[in-house]
Amino acid sequence: MLIAAALFLLAAAIVPTIRAVAQQPVVTDENITQMIGSAKTPAEHEAIATFFDEKAAKAQQDAKNHRAWGNIYGKTSNDDSL
């Protein structure tokens, strides 16, 4: 009887953990509007924040590339093509 109770308690502790891991929200460009409108759990809000953090990092890298390309372009002479 004691073993059965211990197994029950162990199962009760493990099942919510498995569910929490299995239900990690995935935020994409296609579902961001819906996710923002329906987010309720900390995990959902964290997923949205991570989505925008990744977008911001990409935008910063794009801006860095564009500045570098602009500097290179500005140093070239294109007078012959005009």
pLDDT band at residue 30 under the 50/70/90 scheme: very high
Tell me what pLDDT residue 3 has: 81
- Whether 78 has a pLDDT exceeding 80, the answer reads no
Tell me what pLDDT residue 22 has: 55
Yes or no: say if 39 and 48 are a contact pair by the CB < 8 Å rule. Answer: yes
Yes or no: say if 42 and 50 are a contact pair by the CB < 8 Å rule. Answer: no
What's the mean per-residue pLDDT of the chain? 85
d(Cα 61, Cα 67) in Å, to the nearest integer? 10
The token pair that represents 15 in the structure block: 């099942």
- Whether 34 has a pLDDT exceeding 80, the answer reads yes
